[in-house]
Amino acid sequence: MPSTSPLNTAIKPNIQLHTMWYYTSNGQQAGPISQEELAEKLKHELPSDTLVWREGLTQWSAANETEAFKNISSAIPPTLPQSLGANPYIAPSSINTQATITDPYPFPKVKKASFPLLIIATSLALLSTAFFVAYFMANGLSSLQVLEAQASGGLEQTIQAQMDPHASPEERMPEIPELDPMAQLKQIFTPTFFFLLALTSGLFIWSTILGLIYLHRGWKILQPAKASTTPGMAVGFLFIPLFNLYWTFIAYWKWAQDWNKAKQRYQSLQDAPSVNENMFLGMAICQCASLILSIAGLGQIVLYFIGMKSMCDTINYAADQNTSNA
């Protein structure tokens, strides 16, 4: 039988009855239950030397050696302690200290998320941006070349007139045609330019709003599990300049952490999709680094697609659970 640690001997006898306890039964960990319930079990169902543990203790101890239960008379004779695995005297891990919830996870109602639609919207926005930039640079370069040719032609004509010894004074000062920058600007800012600008802006707004809608739904399904933030804050704080660089880690990385924690706590979520927390962390890092390194922006796009696929799968799982429970 394990000896009582100094921590155990320092525990006061007036522990509140709502303290949750774990105990051993048939070699398996059971609980958590209240102190009052465990005391009743020790009187009628469990031997007095049953191994017990609660949060704050460093090891498992026999009930009759624990301050809270040592005066309880059990109707069951003592038995040898049975193993809880590799070492029954090790306190449960940090994951196991929280009670596993057997009730079904109370999913709020959410609409499904279409990942293919998000891929299409984002890809069209990127392609439109590339085409718009290429058109602007090609048109702008052409107009600059025309202006350069006009300027150099007039300068060359003047130099030739100045060097002609037979030219009259009037001929040595030829009339140089005035440059017309506005005409060249009109060649750049054509109706095609404004059409591509409107198309690119619209596609980017569409893809951005779609991604934020899915982010809002992702946080919404976490609210019953004491989520770190609300859906409105998760989305709204991303619009704050500079602060959004920090908030990206909360909106995406923290979402992945909270979902995995909920999945561990609720038995009904054992078949739910898991998400890769490190991938969401990498996405947030690349988004911040893209302000300095353009290659990081490419990495952020790739990780964004992968991360949103996980988020959409989780949202659709929640929507399916609501449908099946309706």
- Angle among Cα 313, 319, 325 to the nearest 5 degrees reads 135
Q: What is the pLDDT of residues 151-204, one digit of tens each?
A: 555 555 565 655 656 655 655 555 555 556 676 667 777 888 899 999 999 999
At 43 the pLDDT is: 84
- The residue count for the chain: 326
At 68 the pLDDT is: 81
- Higher-pLDDT residue of 99 and 250 is 250
DSSP 8-state secondary structure symbol assigned to residue 83: P
The pTM score is 0.60
- State the amino acid at position 209 in one-letter form: I
Phi, psi (rounded to 5 degrees) for 224 = -65, -15
DSSP 8-state secondary structure symbol assigned to residue 81: P
Q: What is the pLDDT of residues 280-298, one digit of tens each?
A: 999 999 988 887 877 778 8
Instruction: Please report, rounded to a whole number, the percentage of residues in the chain having pLDDT higher than 70.
Output: 71
| 94 confidence band (pLDDT: 50, 70, 90) | very low
